[in-house]
A and B are shown apart, each in its own frame.
Chain A
């Protein structure tokens, strides 16, 4: 069964410093996609970054980068130069095409609560 693990329920980081949020996943399918979403206190889900399992390079989007280690099945999110507005819940997600089907299943991890300290 698919599974996503985020081992850090809560994290603190000083403003302007970098922080890494951990995500490990479990799948037997060689083809999948990994996503990170941010959920501020307002509740909206904001897409941050995507990494495909066959992508050769780690994904980057502005201050966000994804440290993808396929053999270890990890997809850690790195936020550089943290800002106060980065305080939020962060969710890792995996999308997988189920075998012998034409549909995708998307599951999420339990999330990490990030607090940025001034």
Chain B
């Protein structure tokens, strides 16, 4: 079975803190994605990656950065957390190719106070 593991299920951070959300997949997928999910807005793409050290901006990259030093790991970084970044963050991975299923982690609930 494909497994996408997000390191933290629930986090509470203070405004201005640097936050790291880690994601690991065990299926040698080229593609990895970070989304945030908010009520009424669905899943919005923050960043994605298609290879080690390669990254592309999604639709809402402002305030975020990412790192992919190893194929299996994709990290989302909030350089200086703000209250409007309180959200559910979902990591996903997939093989390249239009028909390949996208597999999701369980999500990380981040609260910034």
Binding site for B on A (CB under 8 A): 4, 6, 9, 31-33, 35, 43-45, 47, 50, 52-53, 91, 93, 95-97, 102-111
Given contacts A43-B107, A44-B106, A50-B101, contact A106 B42 (CB under 8 A): no
- Chain B residues with CB under 8 Å of A45's CB are 90, 92, 104
Given contacts A108-B35, A109-B42, contact A32 B107 (CB under 8 A): no
Most buried by B among A32, A50, A52: A50
Considering the chains assembled together, what is the distance between the CA atoms of A111 and B106 in angstroms?
A: 18
**What are 8 sample pairs from A and B whose C-beta atoms fall under 8 A apart?**
A33-B98, A50-B99, A91-B43, A103-B56, A104-B94, A106-B102, A107-B59, A108-B45
Binding site for A on B (CB under 8 A): 31, 33, 35, 40-45, 48, 50, 54, 56, 58-59, 88, 90, 92, 94, 96-99, 101-104, 106-107
Contact A110 B102 (CB under 8 A): no
- Chain A residues with CB under 8 Å of B50's CB are 102-104
Considering the chains assembled together, what is the distance between the CA atoms of A44 and B98 in angstroms?
A: 22
Contact B98 A104 (CB under 8 A): yes
B97 → A minimal CB distance (Å): 7
- Chain B residues with CB under 8 Å of A4's CB are 42
A105 → B minimal CB distance (Å): 7
Which of B92, B99, B101 makes the CB contact (< 8 A) with A52? B99
Closest 3 interchain pairs by CB? A103-B50, A33-B98, A45-B104
